[in-house]
Chains A and B, each alone.
Chain A
Amino acid sequence: MNVLLDHFALFRDGFIGTVSLTAASALIALVLGVVIAGFRVSPVPPLRAFGTVWVTVLRNTPLVLLFLVAFFILPMVLFPGMSPYVLAILALGFYTSSFVCEAVRSGINTVAVGQAEAARSLGMTFMQTLRLIVLPQATRTVLPPMSSILIALTKNSAIAGAFSNTELFGVQKDLSDMGFNIMVVFLWIALAYLIITFSISGVFRVLERQMGVAR
């Protein structure tokens, strides 16, 4: 208990750091993931191929390696002197985007083709079909995998701590360097992660209940 109270500011900063890393990279992952999923289901072969390569490469690369790419290669390609925070959310966001893409794609694929055909035969335009028939159903099926992807992202953000970012893993490292009992620190850090991940799964459970309509 003392460790937590004496170093509350450190814990608070770490907690905020983890939440902020998670939220920022989740935003990147969602936007990129949906765009790449759009590529993967598009009628344009080169875009489909690009999407496939994207997913294959990113899913089979260890996240730590992506962090190395972000910290050693990216500054040369873009511009030097990017902050560790930006590099970390880029690595996390790009990595997670491949999982988001696959979730969205399988969500779209679960909508029966007959439904889109029915919509067309009712005279709906492409946008109407998408907006009224396909996307609402896809969203519902995508919610559960999206929840576990975001929870995984929260946990993965720990790696950012090893690359000079302020977050919970960094807090753990600092406190163990100061000589505190590592098991006590571990329990507090674990509790902090549990709070974040339970909040995420709670929000998604509410969303699922609101959107869940029997098919």
Chain B
Amino acid sequence: MSSVLYDTPGPRAKARNRMMSVLGVLAVAGLITLSIVRLANTGQLAPEMWGIFQYSGIIEGIADGIVRTLQAFVLAGILSLVLAAVLAVARLSDHWPVRWFAMAFIELFRAVPLLITIFVIWVGFLTDQPMWALVLGLTVYNGSVQAEVLRAGILAVPKGQVEAAYALGMSKTQVMVTIQIPQAVRAMLPAVISQLVVTLKDTSLGFIIVYEELLQAGTLLARNTIVNGDNPYVTVILVIGAIYIAMCMALSALATWIERRGRRARTGIEVAKAAPVLEAGDVTQPD
């Protein structure tokens, strides 16, 4: 036990821990049972409610939802990384208007709730194309966040490497493109992927602008299906929740794996941590 808070337990502490284990398990099991009983009483957990997942219509609806979610995610992921690279380089520019514009852009879109950005794009420009409204909203928000991640990575490249490149006669652009960005991407990959998990989660905001991604598709199915005279909201929400958790955890696992691999390389650059999936929109800075 390496915790700061507790001593290695002696016989009495061990007995106490065992008792608390039992009580804890009982309390949690009690809460879960109570919720299940209450839900079952409303008929939401009846076998028929789960039976809906045998119908091909329901399965296809959910599969379509997953496809549309992934579609928005992939587009937003790629576009936001492109935007991030542009913004990160612009923030490090020698020309103050470029630097200043990039900073204002990043600060504005990081500060405004993503939902509001998406809504503005939807109502103002792309009313008929909710998917592109969602994708563009995700792009400007996550692009701004990722830009700061990349910038931190670029600044983490040891100064000597940049100086050496200049000494070899490379131009500023060459130094950025061939020396700084590749290493920044490599060092920041885990943090970048962690932010992609956030992007994946945020595609669910499409629910609010009526883009038929997984969440919207699921609730639509629940609304249009009637089992035992009731809508199967509970079962559908539980299933969709499980799908989201599985998708996000798979992506997080990828980030952790890459982080572990990155630690093996000796580049003199600290590889960013994958762990803190802060949807905070805050930058994980290498310290």
Chain A interface residues (CB < 8 Å from chain B): 41-47, 50, 56-57, 59-65, 68-69, 72-73, 76-78, 99, 102, 106, 108-109, 111-113, 115-116, 120, 126, 129-130, 134, 145, 148-149, 151-152, 154-159, 161-162, 168-169, 172-173, 176, 182-183, 186, 189-190, 193-194, 197
Chain A nearest Cβ from B36, distance in angstroms: 9
Return chain A residues, CB-CB under 8 Å to B9: 43
In Å, the complex CA distance between A96 and B27 comes to 23
Query: Contacts A43-B13, A60-B244, A73-B233: A155 and B281 contacting too (C-beta < 8 A)?
Result: yes
Looking at the assembled complex, report how far the CB atom of A136 sits from the nearest CB atom of chain B, in whole angstroms: 13
CB of A43 within 8 A of CB of B252, answer no
Q: How far is the CB of A111 from chain B (nearest CB, A)?
A: 5
- Known A-B contacts A64-B208, A149-B280, A152-B278; A45 and B116 likewise in contact (beta carbons under 8 Å): no
* A62 lies within 8 A of B215 (CB): yes
Q: List 21 A-B contacts (CB under 8 A).
A: A42-B20, A43-B3, A62-B203, A62-B204, A69-B241, A72-B237, A77-B35, A77-B38, A108-B4, A108-B5, A112-B4, A113-B4, A130-B5, A152-B279, A155-B111, A155-B281, A156-B279, A158-B115, A159-B115, A189-B112, A197-B111
Contact in complex: B280, A73 (CB < 8 Å): no
Contacts of A115 in B (CB 8 A): 4
A112 — which chain B residues lie within 8 A by C-beta? Answer: 4
- Please provide the chain B residues from 194 to 233 with a CB less than 8 Å away from any CB of chain A in the complex: 197, 201-205, 207-208, 215, 219, 233
B21 touches A46 (CB 8 A): yes
Across-interface contacts of B111 in A (CB, < 8 A): 155, 190, 193-194, 197
Please determine whether B24 and A47 come into contact, CB atoms closer than 8 angstroms: yes
Q: Which residues of B contact A73 (CB under 8 A)?
A: 39, 44, 233-234, 237
Q: Please tell me if the beta carbons of B279 and A99 are within 8 angstroms of each other in the complex.
A: yes
Give Cα distance in the complex from A194 to B112, angstroms: 7
The chain B residue sitting closest to A150, CB to CB, is: B280
Point out which of A41, A77, A116, A159 has the most chain B C-beta atoms below 10 A from its C-beta: A77
**Binary interface encoding of chain B residues 98-109 relative to chain A, with 1 for a CB under 8 A from any of its CBs, else 0:** 000000000010
Known: A158-B116, A173-B119, A193-B112. A65 touches B237 (CB 8 A): yes
Partner pick for B116 among A65, A77, A126, A189, CB 8 A cutoff:
A189
Give the 5 A-B CB pairs with smallest separation, nearest first.
Answer: A62-B204, A148-B282, A158-B113, A60-B248, A155-B113
Asked whether B4 lies within 8 Å of A109 as measured between CB atoms, the reply is: yes
User: Quick one: which of A41, A113, A145, A190 has the most chain B CB within 10 A?
Assistant: A190
Pick the contact of B17 from A43, A109, A193 — CB < 8 Å? Answer: A43
Q: Which residues of A contact B208 (CB under 8 A)?
A: 64, 159, 162
Interface assignment of B54: CB less than 8 Å from any CB of chain A = no
Chain A residues with CB below 8 A from B44, complex form: 73, 76
Check A102–B276 contact: CB distance below 8 A: yes
Contacts of B38 in A (CB 8 A): 76-78
Q: Is the CB of A44 within 8 A of B7?
A: no
Question: A residues within 8 A CB of B202?
Answer: 62
B residues near A189, Cβ cutoff 8 Å: 112, 116
Interface 1/0 per residue, B1-45 and A, CB below 8 Å: 111111101000100010011001100100000110011001010
Given the known A-B contacts A44-B17, A190-B108, are A72 and B233 also in contact in the complex, defined by CB atoms under 8 Å? yes
CB distance from B110 to the nearest CB of A (A): 9
The reply to whether B249 and A60 form a contact with Cβ atoms under 8 Å apart is yes
